Amino acid sequence: MRSPLSIVLGALIVLTSASVATAQSRPRDASELMEAGVKALDAGQFGEALDAFTEAASILPQNANVRFGAGLAAFMLGHDREAQESFERALALNPRYTAASEWLGELHHRAGRVKEAIATYEAALERSPGVQVLQSRLDQWRKESQLHDRSYESRGAHFSVLFEGPADELLARRTVERLEAAYWRIGQTLGTYPTNPITVVLYTGQQFRDITRMPSWSAGAYDGRIHVPMRGALDHLTELDRVLGHEFVHAVIATLGGRNVPVWLNEGLATFLEPGGREDAEEELARAAARPALRQLHGGFALLTAGEAHIAYAVSTYAVQRMTELRSPAAVVALLQDLGRGTSFAGAFYQHIGMSYDDFQVMIGRQ
């Protein structure tokens, strides 16, 4: 995986300080804009960060740190073309800018451009040998590329399903059919329909673990494409519908809110829209001795145990249910759209749910 945002921010702050120290003869506004951009990134205000770094770039067009900061903000907002241009510009200015290579490779990979992601990391390792985070991710992507090179494809109106061989063709066709049904069912509920085709990759259980590195309790993954372990799936169609629908909702959320969405909201909405998802969450919460607070569920669930994950999903689902009861699914969609435009989560939450996020957390915690 790419470096966590907190680590990147620490490095960017150091690099920004160095750039400011060597740019005293230039307009002082540039240093202020760079500092404002870093602070906005740190606060998760990615729209403000993008504006600050973009303005700073007009003053310091040859500054790689400014370009990288703009790319990072655009990436978090889901503005991938703009992010790619910024990362590539940072690398043109400083070919040894490892963080820019790291995030550019991740962007390519999320868009399904696995070979471009591999080429980006290979070039970075030639310039900076021995960077373990790049080498580990590169090895993983090479395995994935080899699998895709021998894959077959089944297409629907909105989905492209990759599968390993002719023996899985029926499974792939059924997957397309069920995803198309989920597309219209979920689209009708949320009032939004993704227009770009979505790639789905089918794996054996072991392939799924090796390539996605997801925990053993995970039934699927979304990182710009949907990844699902599928052996025996035709014998359990109800469970197949749940997994495919859940991962498709993640694709819808990415289209609406970019990557600026708390994990609890992302997972909660996906589970809320699963067949039977709300009922399962209620049963899980009824059995739970304790519940995590929503503020503890903003980050990923991948490091949780199976038991912890079940409770985290249940709390997240219940929170989304309460949001729809307070307002409507359309209000949740509008909140996500605001996040995609760079609005702070607290601000978007208050605007569309009608109460402060702090008060909502208290309400969820005592119910």
**Residues of 288-306 as b/e, b for ≥16 C-beta within 10 angstroms?**
eeebbebeebeeebeebee
From first to last of its 367 residues, the chain has per-residue pLDDT tens of 455 554 555 556 555 555 544 444 444 588 899 999 999 998 888 999 999 999 999 999 999 999 999 999 999 999 999 999 999 999 999 999 999 999 999 999 999 899 999 999 999 999 989 888 899 999 999 999 998 888 999 999 999 999 988 878 888 999 999 999 999 999 999 999 999 999 999 988 888 888 888 888 998 999 999 999 886 676 777 888 999 999 999 999 999 999 989 999 999 999 999 988 999 999 999 998 889 999 999 988 988 999 999 999 999 999 999 999 999 999 999 999 999 998 989 999 999 999 999 999 999 987 6
Strands 226-229 and 221-222 turn out to be antiparallel
Closest CA to 161 of 144, 145, 178: 178
Please tell me the CATH superfamily of domain 152-251, with its number.
Collagenase ColT, N-terminal domain (3.40.30.160)
Full-model pTM: 0.86
Domain boundaries, the chain: 5-145, 152-251, 263-366
Phi, psi of 327, rounded to the nearest 5 degrees: -130, -95
Architecture of domain 5-145: Alpha Horseshoe (1.25)
Q: Which pair of structure tokens corresponds to residue 86?
A: 């910024």
**d(Cα 241, Cα 238) in Å, to the nearest integer?**
5
Q: Which pair of structure tokens corresponds to residue 172?
A: 């792939």
Alpha-helical segments (H) within the chain: 5-21, 28-42, 46-59, 64-77, 80-93, 98-110, 114-127, 132-149, 169-190, 205-212, 237-257, 263-272, 277-287, 306-326, 329-340, 345-353, 357-366
Sheet harboring 198-203: ordered strands across?
Answer: 152-155, 159-163, 198-203, 226-229, 221-222
What is the tens place of the pLDDT at every residue in 160-198? 999 988 878 888 999 999 999 999 999 999 999 999 999
